[in-house]
Amino acid sequence: MGWLQDLLFKPYPAQVKDEVEHLLNELVQIGLRDDFLSERPGGGFNSDSRNIRARQIGARLNEIGALPLMEYAQRYVRRKSGKQGRMLAEHLEYAWAKIGDWMK
């Protein structure tokens, strides 16, 4: 899916637009501030060194729109994170392992 399709067709219902946009922006902030993966657990990272809040957001996005919304969110993080976008999108991919149908 390209950025134009993402712009025109949102993979979530209109009634949850505000919540989803808030969660997407929070994901970008988390990625830029803390990253989605850590070298060691502790603080905001679970025993697998994955960002706990990012996983909570991934689980909520999965509830709202399943895999299409999670894929959209990953692309959103990549686009909105500047030069770090590609790396953060890759880290998010691993941080969300085993949420819904993500990386099964």
Tell me the per-residue pLDDT of 27-38, one tens digit each, with 9 for 90 and over: 999 999 999 999
| Residue 65 domain flag | yes
- How far apart (Å, rounded) are the C-alpha atoms in residues 56 and 66? 14
Indicate if the pLDDT at residue 8 is higher than 80.
Answer: no
| Residue 102 domain flag | no
Q: Which of 2-6, 59-63, 66-70, 91-95 is predicted with the least confidence, judged by mean pLDDT? A: 2-6
| Residue 17 domain flag | yes
| Residue 103 domain flag | no
How many domains are there within the chain?
Answer: 1
Q: What is the DSSP letter of 99?
A: S
Nearest to 5 by CA among 79, 86, 84, 100: 79
| Residue 34 domain flag | yes
Indicate if the pLDDT at residue 3 is higher than 70.
Answer: no
Location of structure tokens 């390209």: 2
| Residue 104 domain flag | no
Burial 34-51 (b: 16+ CB within 10 A, else e): ebbbbeeeeeebeeeebb
| Residue 100 domain flag | no
| Residue 101 domain flag | no
The boundaries of the domain holding residue 56 are 3-95
Contact call for residues 77 and 88 (beta carbons, < 8 A): yes
Quote the pTM value: 0.92
Indicate if the pLDDT at residue 9 is higher than 90.
Answer: no
